[in-house]
Amino acid sequence: MRPESCVKREVVGSVLVVRIVNPQRKNALNVDLYRGLSAGLDFADKDESIRSVIITGGNQFFCSGHDIDDFSNNPIEDESHPVFEFMLGLSQFRKPVVAAVEGFAVGIGATLLLHCDLVYAGKNSFFQMPFTSLGLCPEFAATFVIPQTAGHKIASELLILGRRFSAERFKKAGFINEITEDGHAFKLALASAMEIGDMVSASVISTKSLIKSRFHADTQGSMREELGCLIELLSTENLKGRLNNKNKD
């Protein structure tokens, strides 16, 4: 499968569905996929007939995180990296973004959910942010959004210990709107997205802006602070070996 074909786009009524399709790597994300995801958001932003976006994966996995090989070969060195551009764009996107999760969301796969407006998940899905086990730090405002939403102790468990959270526990922490039977998360996400499409677009966009306005500066500041820490950790002598060993697991 060519890299550019790993992000599928489909318009369903007023909804743009953006699907990660990289099964050989369990939907791990690389620079080409980040560019594809950014292109999807750009398309939806410019087309006023699109009222919302759904980001989803497959029935077995939503996203397994950064592709380790790609991450080693294309490390984040500054804000021009495709992953930073995508995540910043997602955090600032003016239309509602809905996520439908089946299977698991790990690393960046879990982090991006923090910037979606609605999240639906299958009951057996799970969520994990194992950054410290890789010798890395959390990314893209996770250290801001998670404590703000769930408190310091839950943030420490997710981000320092890197514990796996079930869908039920992730929902209790405030990161999932509703849990469904496995295989039905997309159906529920689409129903909410279509409901948004029946509303006055300007009202929806204004309301989202008001909800997020007090967090924008802190979110962007946290992203840049975490980026600086991540770049420093990526430069440490033994990191590449740890990433390579992880890739063999």
For 137-173, what is each residue's pLDDT tens digit?
999 999 999 999 999 999 999 999 999 999 999 999 9
- Give the per-residue pLDDT at 226: 96
Q: Which has more confidence, 4 or 139?
A: 139
Domains present along the chain, CATH in parentheses: 3-183 (3.90.226.10)
Whether pLDDT at 119 is above 80: yes
- Give the per-residue pLDDT at 248: 46
Radius of gyration of the chain from Cα atoms? 17
Whether pLDDT at 244 is above 90: no
37 pLDDT band (50/70/90 cuts)? very high
Contact in structure between 54 and 17 (CB atoms under 8 Å): yes
For 227-242, what is each residue's pLDDT tens digit?
999 999 888 755 555 5
Contact in structure between 219 and 144 (CB atoms under 8 Å): yes
Measured CA distances, 136 to 205, 207, 226 (Å): 35, 35, 10
Whether pLDDT at 55 is above 90: yes
Pairing state between β 7-12 and 15-20: antiparallel
Contact in structure between 57 and 103 (CB atoms under 8 Å): yes
- Give the per-residue pLDDT at 1: 43
